[in-house]
Amino acid sequence: MGLLELKSIKKTYFLGSSVWGKRKIVEAVKNVSLTLEEGVCLGLVGESGSGKSTLGKILLGLEKPDQGEVWFQGRNLYNLKAKELKELRRNLQVVFQDCYSAVNPRLTVGEIIAEPLRNYERLTSAQEKKKVQEFLEIVGLCLEDIHKYPHHFSGGQLQRINIARAIALKPKLIILDEAVSALDVLVQVQILNLLAQLKEEFQLSYLFISHDLQAVNYIADRLAVMYKGEVVERLDDMEQLERLEHPVSKKLLSSVLPPYPSGERLGIINNMTKISL
């Protein structure tokens, strides 16, 4: 069993009022099964409405599946008691797309990063401050930033703060839900480089959810393509990206890749050139 395993996940929404007419049935996720091994970044890509974000919410416990099981570290998340789930959740963190709404604007950066530490660890004020400063440095921010508020930072800097909070407990898995899509290309590359470095340093696993195949190709080890609630294609070797066959995969591929000569290895795409932090 992998670090994370989804077994036959289904989620249906009923939209509209049953009083005035029939409800619209939306099958957001249809019988999805996925496995994520430790130390691997799995890219989950699809167009808007494909069901990928709904699947992410199910993994985080924000949406309950109508059917299926979510296993994390060998335990079924939806069969656990509250105390057991809380303990398991320390190894399952998330970075959302909207870096601004993900933080409390009334808290300092130090308080934001310290939040998970306060929930799970008993530290003195001095120990907490030292750890927060350590993670600020790790994500490329200044020690003096600990006393600042979210409005003092750009989107890219604020996403670094969200990443620092996500790694504060040194979790096993981080779900990255469109974590770079709201940033401009240069900042995207910087954040993706940072995530790649953190993955190696802390032996992290990622579920990288995105509509952007270019960003997914940049960081992912494996790929799953979703369309209309289903996983329609999988790829275990990102070097074979040009061999994707499903029509929606080809559509995503053509939107970001220029034509390549037959057999040419796909490298860093378009303007995404690796740069130092």
What is the gyration radius of the CA atoms in the chain, in angstroms? 20
Domain count for the chain, please give it: 1
Within-domain flag for 36: no
pLDDT of 102-141, one tens digit each? 999 999 999 999 999 999 999 999 999 999 999 999 999 9
* 251, two tokens: 């559509």
Structural domain for 108, as ranges:
100-170
Within-domain flag for 43: no
Residues 239-257: what's their mean pLDDT? 87
pLDDT of 56-74, one tens digit each? 999 988 899 999 999 999 9
Determine contact, residues 32/8, Cβ cutoff 8 Å: yes
pTM above the 0.85 mark?
A: yes
Of 175, 54, 136, 155, residue with least CA distance to 98: 155
- Return the beta strands (E) in 101-245 as ranges: 173-177, 205-210, 222-227, 230-235
Distances (CA, A) of 222 to 37, 201, 241: 10, 20, 10
- pLDDT top residue among 2 and 118: 118
Q: Is the pLDDT of residue 227 over 50?
A: yes
Residues 196-217: what's their mean pLDDT? 95
Within-domain flag for 164: yes
Within-domain flag for 257: no
Q: Which residue has the tokens 């530290």?
A: 123
92 DSSP 8-state letter: E
Within-domain flag for 165: yes
Within-domain flag for 136: yes
H/E stretch holding 33 reads strand 24-36
d(CA 106, CA 213): 35
d(CA 1, CA 72): 9
Within-domain flag for 138: yes
Determine contact, residues 168/113, Cβ cutoff 8 Å: yes
Distances (CA, A) of 236 to 30, 42, 43, 57, 240: 22, 9, 10, 24, 8
